[in-house]
């Protein structure tokens, strides 16, 4: 990497590949951070902001933000805890994608059908810190000491194959859809934590003059997230039914109400959660609302 590209610029770390990469590019586009990344290079500069984008493995980003000179980063909540950086970085926003569970898995027809069954045996994982902390508590509850304690072994990939290939009695691994787990003949017996992608910043600002830009980027990303979560619902309704309508569409703060030329009628505009849009329209129809329209949001500030 060319250190000259970093001079005076805010450093923003992005996962270079994997399950978070494409969604991160969408977030950057929504926040109007414009850039061109040359082929096979892991650093580039934004064309419209004093920002250098650094593409790193997601698992390394918490350490670069917490201990290095990187100002902002997008990574998984799980890898922050695994890197033990939770006291050195702040989670600015949960981003709503990359959701999965870190789960303890064992063979479906095997002898270990509970965490207590697995305690004291062999566990393989790429989350050595989190798995170790979890099983330390289980071992303590079961009074397992010394050689009796659960054996945690780290491997970097193909964790789900460890049981079938005789390396482990159980594993700790991320589960998104569960297809890989089931294909390996495994099932989940416990969940260590739920995780998703997060925007993080250092708890110790590296360059004070970047604080306004960090706040601007965080605000823009919050707007992108809200635009993906909410839609605008507009409808007409009799004024005497407005209190019931406001209870159905309260908006983020309050609905916008405008009088209509037809006496006794008002027009209402309100943000509603996208996932509830159909149910909201059904409820509005029941109380006499008319001309109900739903509009998607491209972007917003909330």
Per-residue tokens: 150? 């659960």
Name the nearest CA neighbour of 107 among 35, 23, 164, 49.
164
Give the mean pLDDT of 179-202.
94
Domain residue ranges of the chain, discontinuous segments joined by +? 3-98+197-206, 100-194, 230-296
The residue ranking higher by pLDDT, 13 or 178, is: 13
pLDDT of residue 40: 76
Sign of CA dihedral 118, 121, 123, 127: positive
Cα–Cα distance for residue pair 232/270, rounded to 1 Å: 6
Question: What is this structure's pTM?
Answer: 0.85
- pLDDT, tens digit (0-9, with 9 covering 90-100), for 114-161: 999 999 999 999 999 999 999 999 999 999 889 999 999 999 888 999
Q: Please, what is the angle between helix 21-30 and helix 211-229, to 10°?
A: 110
Looking at the domain that runs over 100-194, which CATH code has it been given?
3.40.190.10
Give the three-state DSSP class for 193.
strand
100-194 shares its CATH topology with 230-296: no
Can you spell out the DSSP letters for 117-185?
Answer: HHTTSEEEES-HHHHHHHHHHHHHHTT--GGGS-EEEE-SS-GGGTTTTTS-SEEEEEESSSHHHHHTT
Cα 294 to Cα 272: distance, rounded to the nearest angstrom: 9
Please enumerate in sequence order all residues whose Cβ is within 8 A of that of 203, keeping only pairs 6 or more positions apart, or say none: 66, 87, 88, 89, 90
The domain 230-296: what is its CATH number? 3.30.70.120
CATH of 3-98+197-206, one of 3.90.230.10, 3.40.190.10, 3.90.25.10, 3.90.1330.10: 3.40.190.10
What pLDDT, on a 0 to 100 scale, did the predictor assign at position 2?
A: 53
pLDDT score, position 252: 86
Share of the chain above pLDDT 90, in %: 83
Residue 234 confidence (pLDDT) above 60:
yes
Tens digit of each residue's pLDDT (9 = 90 or more) over 237-247: 999 999 999 99
Using CB atoms within 10 Å of the CB of residue 6, give its burial: 0 to 12 exposed, 13 to 18 middle, 19+ buried: middle
């Amino acid at each position: 990497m060319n250190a000259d590209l970093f001079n005076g610029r805010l450093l923003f770390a992005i996962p270079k590949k994997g399950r978070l990469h494409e969604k991160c590019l969408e977030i950057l586009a929504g926040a109007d951070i414009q850039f061109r990344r040359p082929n096979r290079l892991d650093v580039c500069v934004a064309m419209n902001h004093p920002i250098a984008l650094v593409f790193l493995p997601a698992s390394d980003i918490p350490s670069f933000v917490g201990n290095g000179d990187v100002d902002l980063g997008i990574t998984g909540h799980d890898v922050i805890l695994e890197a033990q950086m939770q006291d050195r970085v702040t989670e600015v926003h949960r981003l709503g994608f990359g959701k999965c569970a870190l789960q303890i898995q064992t063979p479906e027809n095997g002898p270990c059908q509970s965490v207590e069954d697995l305690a004291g045996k062999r566990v393989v994982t790429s989350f050595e810190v989190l798995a170790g902390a979890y099983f330390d508590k289980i071992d303590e509850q079961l009074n397992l000491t010394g050689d009796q304690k659960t054996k945690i072994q780290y491997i970097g990939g193909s964790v789900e194959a460890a049981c079938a290939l005789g390396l482990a009695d159980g594993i700790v691994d991320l589960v998104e859809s569960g297809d890989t787990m089931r294909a390996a003949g495994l099932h989940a017996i416990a969940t260590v934590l739920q995780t998703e992608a997060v925007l993080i910043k250092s708890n110790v600002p590296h360059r004070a003059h970047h604080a306004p830009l960090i706040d601007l980027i965080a605000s823009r990303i919050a707007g992108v997230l809200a635009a993906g979560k909410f839609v605008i619902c507009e409808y007409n309704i009799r004024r005497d039914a407005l209190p019931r309508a406001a209870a159905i569409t309260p908006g983020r703060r309050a609905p916008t109400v405008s009088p209509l030329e037809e006496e006794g009628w008002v027009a209402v505009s309100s943000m509603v959660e996208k996932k509830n849009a159909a149910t909201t329209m059904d409820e509005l129809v029941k109380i006499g609302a008319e001309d109900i329209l739903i509009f998607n949001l491209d972007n917003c500030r909330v």
